[in-house]
Structure 1
Amino acid sequence: MRVLFAGTPAVAVPSLDALVEAGFEIVAVLTRPDAPIGRKRVLTPSPVAARAAELGIDIIHATRVDEAVTAKIAAAKPDVAAIVAYGGLIPRPALDVPPHGWINLHFSLLPAWRGAAPVQRAVMAGDDVTGAVTFLLEEGLDTGPVFGTLTEGVGPEDTAGALLERLSRSGAVLLAQTLSAVEAGRAAAQQQVGDVSLAPKLTIDDGRLDWKQPALAIGRRARGVTPEPGAWTTLDGQRVKLEPVRLRPGDTDLQPGAVFLDGKSVLVGTGSHAVELTRIQPSGKKMMAAADWARGMATLESVVFE
């Protein structure tokens, strides 16, 4: 079966590899154009583009799927399209090109967490279980009928990045299985059932920690925005980046945002009990162990995160 693969970030690469290993003919890869990366803003291919180049697969670069891009897709004559985190909408003319449609691997248990940041939102919400589905792409936001489902537990220290990495690998297997079922004529999609929740793309503001919130909520938010866009707070008007915090249920005396060095542990007060900082990156400096940062502060007792 001839497959067009659409994807952009690193989490889509395992799916591309899985389809190649399963013996599907990948006729082309649709991905976002090269983007400036790092402080020097060097134009860099997307992870999917880089992998496709290694595999010798034709690449279609597109910020949006317009008439010209749709014509390139049609010229590849795919039987089906597989899409994993491409990063753009697929309009109706392009959806109609492959006879078997576009099959999307989405990292949530639809209809929960429809949108661009399902894993991040699930962690921030404190979900105990999440997963991935394959579904038939429609013009609506993640509304199509579901072919296959897998579940994945969310651990108490899971970051969105760690959870997404696991789902990208198990989801790649699910996607290959779904396409095999489609090729064999035994795939049966079922309409989504359950409560709908939305997972809009994260912004920098989503990473700001509100120390007046309960510790559990702060911990979930910090894990949910790691690695991107990253957790942060402010100190003396400067942004300070933080890695995920640990809960310290026994410590309740600190005011929200107040910092205290307890032995080798750096604690911060919240709306409930304290949390322990792990690593911190002050403005203009590198990420460092929280204890090292604390020892370098002349008057830690007066430090209050905002």
Structure 2
Amino acid sequence: MRVVFAGTPEVAVPSLDAIAASHHELVGVVTRPDAPSGRGRRLVSSPVAQRAEELGVPVLKPAHPRDPEFQEHLRALEPHCCPVVAYGALVPQSALDIPPLGWVNLHFSALPAWRGAAPVQWAIWAGDEVTGATTFRLVKELDAGPAFGVMTELIRPDDTAGTLLERLAEGGSGLLVATLDGLEDGSLEARPQQAEGVSYAPKVEVEDARVDWTDPAVAIDRQVRACTPAPGAWTTYDGERLKLGPVTLADVELPAGELLVTKREVLVGTGTRAVRLGEVRPFGRKQMPAADWARGVRVGSGSTVGATDER
């Protein structure tokens, strides 16, 4: 059948590739407009737009999908269905009504858990053992449409949001194509989501990613992994921000925020046992092992992180 794919970031590219490789006819791609990037702030196409151009597929970049001109273009493509992955804009009912089989969204959680913008981050942060991906019919209410299919994925103890999302993007691409297949041959029927178990996953902001060292070590480990790679967990040292990569738990007790520095490692006290810092990124510098950072700025044992005297 004829499909128009909607998506924007890198995580949507595996689904675009899977659809392009399927027997379905990919007649167009919808993505967000070019955005400024880098130090020069030059306009750059989205990863989905770049991949679509490589595939030779027409690309639409509406300022908003409610734009009448965009909807006219979409109608002219005559799609039977619009699969969508992380498009990044609210699709109005007037656009939802254009394809006869609707818009089918791939969401990276086992709905109804973690509806919203950051399902993978919140699943890790909450300590979930299992998550997944779900295909469902897009409706006006946030991630609440009837579901077509679901896949599950174990959350590994060392998973970051980045590594887990990568696996879900690959596995979910197959689920999305299978959903399109079922819609085409009439073998698949959408079922309402369960009323119980609904939870929400709002966007994780930079301030949310600040570590409170009075929290338990296990909670800090989850927070840091959930915020890796974005927006990046952080604390402060000597008034400046220090970004944190994933940490590991240590069998040492220290006061919350206090450092224990050796030649090979840097430990930080928490509300329970200490954690061992991995990679860190000082303000204005590249990422480096915590021990290298400590040597470079002459951090000694007994120093603290997380003070409120930011510059």
The reply to whether TM is greater than 0.5 is: yes
Partners in 1 of 2:178 and 2:300 — Cα distance?
56
Q: Relative to structure 2, which stretch is displaced further, 280-289 or 86-95?
A: 280-289
Equivalent in the alignment of 2:272: 272
Give the CA deviation at 1:98.
0.2
Equivalent in the alignment of 1:5: 5
Give the CA deviation at 1:262.
3.9
Equivalent in the alignment of 1:20: 20
Equivalent in the alignment of 2:147: 146
Equivalent in the alignment of 1:52: 52
Partners in 1 of 2:139 and 2:74 — Cα distance?
17
Normalising by structure 2, we get a TM-score of 0.95
Give the CA deviation at 1:39.
2.0
Give the CA deviation at 1:271.
0.5
Equivalent in the alignment of 1:239: 241
On the 8 A contact 2:111/2:193 being kept in 1, the answer is yes
Partners in 2 of 1:298 and 1:184 — Cα distance?
67
Give the CA deviation at 1:68.
2.3
Q: Relative to structure 2, which stretch is displaced further, 231-240 or 89-98?
A: 231-240
Equivalent in the alignment of 2:227: 225
Q: Relative to structure 2, which stretch is displaced further, 66-75 or 295-304?
A: 295-304
Partners in 2 of 1:126 and 1:177 — Cα distance?
30
Give the CA deviation at 1:263.
4.8
**Secondary structure in 2 matching 1:144:** coil
Equivalent in the alignment of 2:64: 64
Partners in 1 of 2:299 and 2:79 — Cα distance?
65
Q: 2:285 matched to 1:285?
A: yes
Give the CA deviation at 1:302.
4.3
**Secondary structure in 2 matching 1:301:** coil
Partners in 2 of 1:179 and 1:269 — Cα distance?
51
Partners in 2 of 1:141 and 1:302 — Cα distance?
48
Give the CA deviation at 1:63.
3.4
Give the CA deviation at 1:243.
0.7
Tell me the alpha carbon deviations over residues 65-120 of structure 1, each in whole angstroms, 9 at most, x when there is no partner: 12222222111110000000000111000000000000000000101000010001
Normalising by structure 1, we get a TM-score of 0.97
Tell me the alpha carbon deviations over residues 170-190 of structure 1, each in whole angstroms, 9 at most, x when there is no partner: 000000000000000111111
Partners in 1 of 2:297 and 2:57 — Cα distance?
54
Q: Which runs of 5+ in 1 are unaligned?
A: none
What is the root-mean-square deviation of aligned Cα atoms in Å?
1.1
Partners in 2 of 1:201 and 1:284 — Cα distance?
25
Q: Relative to structure 2, which stretch is displaced further, 261-270 or 180-189?
A: 261-270
Tell me the alpha carbon deviations over residues 44-63 of structure 1, each in whole angstroms, 9 at most, x when there is no partner: 11000000000111101023
Partners in 2 of 1:61 and 1:260 — Cα distance?
52
Report how many aligned residue pairs link the two structures: 304
On the 8 A contact 1:103/1:135 being kept in 2, the answer is yes
Partners in 1 of 2:55 and 2:103 — Cα distance?
22
Partners in 1 of 2:57 and 2:33 — Cα distance?
16
Identity over aligned pairs, percent:
53
Partners in 2 of 1:69 and 1:174 — Cα distance?
28
Q: Which runs of 5+ in 2 are unaligned?
A: 307-311
Q: 2:118 matched to 1:117?
A: yes
Pick from 201, 204, 216 the counterpart of residue 202 of structure 1.
204
**Secondary structure in 2 matching 1:300:** coil
On the 8 A contact 2:83/2:105 being kept in 1, the answer is yes
Give the CA deviation at 1:237.
1.8
On the 8 A contact 1:206/1:225 being kept in 2, the answer is no
**Secondary structure in 1 matching 2:182:** helix
AA paired with 1:154? I
Runs ≥4 residues deviating over 4 A: none
Partners in 2 of 1:189 and 1:299 — Cα distance?
58
Q: 2:107 matched to 1:106?
A: yes
Q: Relative to structure 2, which stretch is displaced further, 1-10 or 41-50?
A: 41-50
AA paired with 2:29? V
AA paired with 2:40? K
**Secondary structure in 2 matching 1:221:** helix
**Secondary structure in 2 matching 1:303:** coil
**Secondary structure in 1 matching 2:246:** coil
AA paired with 1:206? D
AA paired with 1:277? L
**Secondary structure in 2 matching 1:104:** strand
On the 8 A contact 2:261/2:299 being kept in 1, the answer is no
Equivalent in the alignment of 1:166: 167
**Secondary structure in 1 matching 2:151:** strand
Tell me the alpha carbon deviations over residues 167-210 of structure 1, each in whole angstroms, 9 at most, x when there is no partner: 00000000000000000011111111131100011111121111
